């Protein structure tokens, strides 16, 4: 070997050592803050988060566990167009976790910003078709050619398109009005629109602002989903911290699933201003056991939903790049959380599935 060869070899070896040390230094760089965004209502100056998030906050264990590692926990309350707000925050690397819906998450992943479901949140939320209180319409057929309000880009928009298609209609059969939920309720009550497709509509009907003529109650394929999503880069770089957050949410859902905590869960559901009657109506479903409202299991119901939703979103040009369910779902954190909680066999499971590549069943 010549002197030049030896020099070149030594140089390459030195560079390799420097790069390895740099990578080690970067990997060892401690995380300072974990940021979680979730839907919240602000009442009397205080944020009240939805469902399991509020339980995680009230319990306080997540904050304590992170603090023991020198990590600060920051909660980001989101109102209004939750999907767009959380997508923007993920894209700008301002948050590590987001608790929100399926369609906005598909749009985000199709745009190139990768996130994954680390904790599924129950069996989904019901969707509703409402008409003004004095309307004689009893079905979609009666609304053909009429004005229907539905907020484009929100999770229930895709469900609305699917409902139209399965009922034999096209969007062009109606005049679709793209407005957010709050002003659309006012428009419905005043008769400025002929129908509204939305979620959380029991309160609207109870107040006499609208009349429900269809709901997804008992129909898994017509519900929308909201999960705990995490940035893929965060998952890859901090799997241990991701596990702590995931376990906190599974623990919250396990607590909510206990029959003895039913009344506490219902009371917690009223903290954002929703009347107790409406909260009880949301849980009034003969097709589901109480505990299954909060299941974190990666089973066929969840997988089929994301396969169907991703394919439909691409087919309807709501996303330009196809997204595979295998790339969205990461079950290993729930599997570990269930072991820690000794709850591997607690929740009811639909036929167990395995997705090639990434998703393995949580069932044992």
pLDDT at position 5 is 46
Which one has a higher pLDDT value, 262 or 358? 262
Return the SS3 of 99: strand
Cα separation, 358 vs 247, whole angstroms: 20
pLDDT at position 4 is 39
Contacts of 182 (CB under 8 A, 6+ apart): none
Which is it for the CA torsion 141, 142, 146, 151, positive or negative? negative
Cα separation, 305 vs 102, whole angstroms: 9
pLDDT digits (tens, 9 = 90+) for 144-161: 999 999 988 788 898 999
18 pLDDT more than 70: no
Rounded-to-5 percentages of helix, strand, coil across the chain: 50, 15, 35
Q: Provide the percentage of residues in the chain whose pLDDT is more than 70.
A: 88
If we measure between CA atoms, which residue out of 187, 179, 175 comes closest to residue 150? 179
Strand duo 33-43 + 46-49: pairing: antiparallel
Helix pair 102-110, 300-315: axis angle to 10 deg: 60
Distance of alpha carbon 189 from the chain centroid? 29
Beta strands, E only, 44-126: 46-49, 72-78, 97-101, 115-119
pLDDT at position 37 is 97
Region 231-247: what's the mean pLDDT? 98
Report residue 363's pLDDT band, with 50, 70 and 90 as the boundaries. very low
pLDDT at position 359 is 52
Cα separation, 353 vs 128, whole angstroms: 30
Write out the two tokens for 309: 């939703």
Write out the two tokens for 122: 């129950």
pLDDT at position 27 is 47
Judge contact between 143 and 360, C-beta under 8 A: no
pLDDT digits (tens, 9 = 90+) for 48-63: 898 899 999 999 999 9
Report residue 28's pLDDT band, with 50, 70 and 90 as the boundaries. very low
Backbone angles phi, psi at 109, to 5 degrees: -65, -35
Cα separation, 315 vs 312, whole angstroms: 5
Region 345-361: what's the mean pLDDT? 58
Q: Provide the percentage of residues in the chain whose pLDDT is more than 90.
A: 66
Cα separation, 153 vs 103, whole angstroms: 7
Using CB atoms within 10 Å of the CB of residue 227, give its burial: 0 to 12 exposed, 13 to 18 middle, 19+ buried.
buried
Judge contact between 43 and 79, C-beta under 8 A: no
Cα separation, 347 vs 355, whole angstroms: 20
pLDDT at position 16 is 46
244 pLDDT more than 90: yes
pLDDT digits (tens, 9 = 90+) for 194-230: 999 999 899 999 889 999 999 999 887 788 999 999 9
Report residue 23's pLDDT band, with 50, 70 and 90 as the boundaries. very low
- The separation between the first and the last C-alpha atoms of the chain, rounded to the nearest angstrom, is 59
Ramachandran class of 145: left when φ > 0, alpha when ψ lies in -120 to 50, beta otherwise: left
107 pLDDT more than 60: yes
pLDDT at position 10 is 39
182 pLDDT more than 90: no
Name the pTM for this structure.
0.85
Return the SS3 of 323: coil
3 pLDDT more than 70: no
pLDDT digits (tens, 9 = 90+) for 44-100: 888 889 889 999 999 999 999 999 999 999 999 998 888 999 999 999 999 999 999
Report residue 29's pLDDT band, with 50, 70 and 90 as the boundaries. low
The answer as to CATH 3.40.190.10 being correct for domain 127-222 is yes
Q: Domain spanning 33-123+225-341 has what CATH number? A: 3.40.190.10
Judge contact between 77 and 50, C-beta under 8 A: no
CATH 3.40.190.10 boundaries in the chain: 33-123+225-341, 127-222
Distance of alpha carbon 346 from the chain centroid? 22
pLDDT at position 12 is 45
pLDDT at position 350 is 61
- Altogether, the residues listed in the chain come to a count of 364
Vertex 43: Cα angle to 41 and 47 (nearest 5): 50
362 pLDDT more than 80: no
- Mean pLDDT computed over every residue of the chain: 87
What is the rounded radius of gyration, in angstroms, for the C-alpha atoms of the chain? 23
Label residues 310-324 b or e (16+ Cβ within 10 Å = b): bebbbeeebbeeebb
């Amino acid at each position: 070997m010549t002197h030049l060869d030896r020099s070149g070899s030594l140089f390459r070896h030195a560079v390799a050592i420097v790069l390895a040390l740099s990578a080690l230094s970067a990997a060892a760089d401690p995380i300072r803050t974990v940021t979680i965004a979730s839907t919240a209502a602000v009442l009397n100056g205080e944020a009240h988060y939805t469902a399991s998030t509020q339980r995680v906050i009230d319990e306080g264990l997540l904050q304590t566990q992170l603090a023991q590692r020198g990590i600060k926990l920051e909660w980001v309350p989101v109102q209004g167009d939750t999907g767009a707000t959380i997508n923007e925050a993920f894209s700008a690397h301002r948050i590590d976790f987001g608790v929100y819906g399926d369609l906005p998450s598909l749009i985000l992943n199709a745009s190139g910003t990768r996130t994954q479901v680390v904790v599924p949140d129950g069996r989904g939320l019901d969707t509703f078709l409402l008409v003004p209180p004095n309307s004689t319409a009893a079905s979609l057929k009666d609304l053909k050619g009429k004005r229907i309000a539905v907020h484009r880009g929100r999770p229930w928009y895709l469900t609305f398109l699917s409902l139209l298609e399965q009922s034999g209609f096209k969007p062009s059969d109606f005049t679709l009005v793209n407005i957010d939920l709050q002003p659309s309720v006012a428009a419905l009550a005043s008769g400025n629109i002929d129908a509204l497709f939305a979620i959380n509509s029991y309160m609207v009907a109870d107040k006499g602002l609208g009349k429900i003529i269809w709901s997804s109650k008992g129909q898994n394929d017509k519900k929308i989903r909201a999960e705990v999503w995490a940035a893929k880069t965060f998952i890859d770089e901090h799997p241990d911290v991701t596990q702590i957050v995931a376990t906190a949410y599974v623990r919250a859902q396990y607590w909510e699933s206990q029959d003895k905590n039913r009344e506490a869960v219902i009371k917690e559901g009223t903290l954002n201003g929703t009347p107790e009657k409406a909260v009880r109506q949301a849980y009034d479903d003969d097709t589901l056991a109480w505990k299954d409202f909060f299941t974190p299991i990666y089973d066929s119901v969840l997988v089929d939903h994301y396969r169907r939703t991703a394919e439909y979103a691409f087919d309807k040009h709501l996303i330009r790049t196809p997204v595979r369910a295998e790339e969205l779902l990461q079950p290993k954190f729930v599997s570990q959380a269930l072991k820690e909680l000794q709850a591997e066999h607690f929740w009811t499971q639909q036929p167990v599935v395995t997705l090639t590549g990434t998703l393995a069943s949580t069932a044992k």
